[in-house]
Amino acid sequence: MAEEIPDPSGTRPDDTATNGKPRRGWRRTLLIIILILSSFVVYAFAFAKTDVSLEEIQSETRQEQLFRILRALARPDLIRYDKEDLVVTTDVFIPCNGTTPEAATPDQSGATISVTPSCASPGEIMTVNGTGFEAGKRVKIDFVPKSDFDIVLPQGSVDVADDGTFSLSFEAPLRETEDPQQITATTQTNVGSWTNRVVVWTDTNGNGVQDPAALPDSE
C-alpha cells in the first residue's frame, strides 16, 4: 500500500466544504453574530434595571443642559483668565405708584437691561430683557428690595443668546414699598489676555482694603 502524502496546504479534509471554501469563515461569522446579540441583551437588561427614561432627555431643562455642553465642546475656553463681575441694574416699583423708574445706564461694554412692566403688584409676572451681553455667558437675575439690610432675592439665571440678548420672567416678590427697588443682572467677564494677565482689585468685605491678589504678581 502506498504511503499517503500529506497536503502541503495544511488544510484538513473536514475543514473544507464541498464548494472548496473553508468552513472556519462560517464559524467566525456565527461567533460575531452571537457576540452582537449578547451585547444587545446586556444593554437591554441594564437599561431596564436602571429605569432610564427617555422622557427625561426630551424635557426642556435637559435639552438646555445638553445644548450648553455641546456649545462648550464646540468653543472650549482653553485659556484660563481671571474674571470680574459685570453688574447691570435698573429700578422697578412694587406696587405701581404712578412713578416711572429711570432707565438702566448701560455698562461700558454696552450691556443693558430693561424690565416689562416696570411696575407690578406682588405675584404679577415681570420680564427682564438684556442686550449687549457676551454670547454664551450665564446671567444671574436678582431682586434687591428696599431694606436696611443687605438682602438679595434670586429670581433665576439664563444663558445669553448668540445675538447678545436674553429674556427671563419671574413673579414680582411680596416686597411692597413706595421707593424704587432694583433688578440686577450679573455675569462674569474675562480680564486681561493670555499675554497680559491682570490682577483683579477686589474688596469682598467692603473695608476699603484690597483682597489678596487673585493671580500672583509676575516680574
CATH code of 88-182, in short, is: 2.60.40
pLDDT (0 to 100) of residue 6 = 52
Is the model more confident about 17 or about 24? 24
Domain boundaries, the chain: 88-182
Kindly report, residue by residue over 54-73, the tens digit of the pLDDT. Answer: 555 566 666 666 666 666 55
pLDDT score recorded for residue 196: 58
Rounded average pLDDT over 75-89 = 66
What are the CA-CA distances from residue 210 to residues 114, 121, 130, 187 (Å)?
A: 33, 41, 31, 22
Of all residues in the chain, the percent with pLDDT exceeding 90 is 37
Give pTM, 2 decimals: 0.54
pLDDT above 70 (res 122):
yes
pLDDT at residue 115 greater than cutoff 80 = yes
pLDDT in the model for residue 210: 63
Render 9-65 in DSSP notation, one character per residue: T---GGGB-TTS-BSHHHHHHHHHHHHHHHHHHHHHHHHHHTT--HHHHHSHHHHHH
pLDDT one-digit tens code per residue, 130-176: 999 999 899 999 999 998 888 999 999 999 999 999 999 999 999 99
In 58-124, the DSSP E strands lie at 82-92, 112-116
In 3D space, the residue among 132, 136, 134, 157 whose CA is nearest the CA of residue 72 turns out to be 136
Mean pLDDT of 193-212: 60
